[in-house]
Amino acid sequence: MKRFWQSLFVMNKSTLIVVVSVFLMAFGNRAFFANIVDVYPLNPGNAAFLISLAVVFGAALVLIFSLVCYRYTTKPVLITILMLSSFAAYFMDSYNTVIDTDMLRNVAQTNVSEASDLMSGTLAIYVILLGILPSLFVYRVRITTGTVRRDILSTIKLASISLGIGVLTVVVFGNFYASFIREHKILRYYANPSFYLVSTVKFAGSFIESSSLPFKMIAEDAHAAPSDGSRELMIMVVGETARADRFSLNGYERETNPELAKEDVISFSDFWSCGTSTATSVPCMFSVYGTSNYDEQKAAATENVLDILARTGVNVLWLDNNSDSKGTATRITYRNFKTPENNPECDGEECRDTGMLTNLQQYIDAHPKGDILIVLHQMGNHGPAYYKRYPKAFEKFTPVCQTNQLEECSKESINNAYDNAILYTDFFLSKVIDLLKRNAGGFQTGMFYVSDHGESLGEFDVYLHGLPMFIAPDAQRHVPAVMWFSDNFSGVNEGALRAAKDQTMNHDWIFHTLLGLFDVRTEAYQPGLDILNIPGAEIARTPAH
């Protein structure tokens, strides 16, 4: 018996690759096969295809591993993949999300606080059972080796067999695979680890490409229009993970905007994000490229609207209570409010958005000349720990989900926690308006709030955000957008804005609206994408050409 168990830990490289591939295919892909079965139900007509899919998937993993494992790299490569795949399996199984290049970008740009909100006992179980234990097995295995020539021949043989099995199986079930490949591309996104490995290669390539791009100035003809003697003070609030359909200003049955309802605000009900993650949406909304032409590498190497405004004499300040500006505020004044040293309203690890307002008057008073634009980047509704995003006093809707493991909570408790966080954002925005009102004597003041993206709250068993745009549900893309202006803000026809509040708009409008708000004249400005100059409504502001 002892000899038998010892023999289990002795095998050649090819056998170990096959064992690991079968393990990952069978135990690390619950989300993949669950989504497959949703499209191809388990019945006699589909059974053979589903079995063939497991064969093709396993063969593909063997092929991939055989190409990257060579003698002394075999164990490190397989252990690394097992550990990473255990994390990927947890997030795909728990939140029905996918690990694409945008998600990897989010991971690369996250901080300790955000990462801690995703830690859980279930994650630990996944890592132990799918990562650590099989990795220990791989580590203990004694790989029998031969000559270098024999090892190369063995690799070629394994790769050829796996490729042959995969191709033959696809040919035999050609009709099924034609449909699978052509009509159900998203299903392949759940393949663990093949899809995240491909995404990692793409992400690394894009990072290398962006670092080599020369920095590009745009709107070099930009200049401020002749001053009429009045100064403008605008506060732009970049929200986090807020959904338009959870704002009572937009018709939500719950009163989530009691404070804003008291103010003379304009809520744009049909506003859409240019991405489904902070890493994409935040730089995109300030970029000249817009949703259809946005490219992270290109945008990172190009001036954004904040750079242009600062160059034309506007005092631009970015305060951040989120992870960071995702490169948007690299060339302007930036202050981090995720730390108690800067934010006086921190409760343990959670720093409140209202803390960003504490010393803002001092900044305004310290700039006696020129217009002022202040960007406040919220923590907002950042998930999955929605219950942490508001003080206890704002827990109006109960019971609430008190864990980051959303799959363990009822839909009602998840929605309650999420709506309470919206309620706190409403309070925060009202305090922004109060600050602007106090400064209306010396400025024309205004607030522009828009969320970076939305959030899935369990609809279709999908949670959080970050799905690719072409398959992302409306909940991840339909965002709230609200404007408020002081009575003395010249050139704003609020009647025209209210008449057009249900017009379809998106993040592309922000670039040009900010240029229009500060009367910056440049050929880069498109009046048709300026909210204050909405086509089809009465002209709300004189175009700046």
pLDDT at residue 185, as a whole number: 75
What backbone torsions phi and psi does residue 311 show, to the nearest 5 degrees? -70, -25
Q: How far apart are CA 193 and CA 207, in angstroms?
A: 21
| Nearest alpha-carbon partner for 48 in 161, 187, 172, 179 | 172
474 Cα distance to chain centroid: 14
pLDDT at residue 321, as a whole number: 96
The one-letter amino acid at 152: I
| Nearest alpha-carbon partner for 429 in 269, 270, 247 | 247
10 Cα distance to chain centroid: 44
pLDDT at residue 8, as a whole number: 67
221 close to 522: Cβ distance less than 8 angstroms = yes
In this structure, how many other beta carbons lie within 10 angstroms of the beta carbon of residue 183?
10
3-state secondary structure of 272: strand
| Residue pointed to by tokens 């827990």 | 395
Residue 72 to residues 68, 266, 541: CA-CA distances in angstroms? 11, 64, 68
3-state secondary structure of 356: helix
336 close to 342: Cβ distance less than 8 angstroms = yes
3-state secondary structure of 448: strand
| Nearest alpha-carbon partner for 121 in 388, 387, 381, 408 | 408
DSSP string, 386-419: GGGSS-GGG--S-S---SS-GGGS-HHHHHHHHH
pLDDT at residue 537, as a whole number: 46
pLDDT at residue 543, as a whole number: 45
pLDDT at residue 410, as a whole number: 96
| Nearest alpha-carbon partner for 238 in 105, 379, 439 | 379
424 close to 256: Cβ distance less than 8 angstroms = no
| Nearest alpha-carbon partner for 544 in 225, 289, 243 | 225
Whole-angstrom distance between the N-terminal and C-terminal Cα of the chain?
A: 86
446 Cα distance to chain centroid: 28
314 close to 518: Cβ distance less than 8 angstroms = yes
pLDDT in tens, the chain (545 residues): 555 555 667 888 899 999 999 999 999 999 999 988 888 888 888 889 899 999 999 999 999 999 888 878 899 999 999 999 999 999 999 888 888 887 887 777 777 777 777 888 899 999 999 999 999 999 999 988 777 888 888 889 999 999 999 999 999 888 788 778 777 778 888 999 988 888 888 887 776 766 667 899 999 999 998 877 789 999 999 999 999 999 999 999 999 999 999 999 999 999 999 999 999 999 999 999 999 999 888 899 999 999 999 999 999 999 999 989 999 999 999 999 998 999 999 987 789 999 999 999 999 999 999 999 999 999 999 999 999 999 999 999 999 999 988 988 999 999 999 999 999 999 999 999 999 999 999 999 999 999 999 999 999 889 999 999 988 999 999 999 999 999 999 878 888 899 999 999 999 999 999 999 999 999 999 999 999 987 544 445 544 44
Structure-derived torsion over alpha carbons of residues 113, 118, 122, 123, reported in degrees to the nearest 10 = -90
pLDDT at residue 258, as a whole number: 98
* 392 CB-near residues (< 8 Å, 6+ apart): none
Bridge-based pairing of strands 346-347 and 350-351 is antiparallel
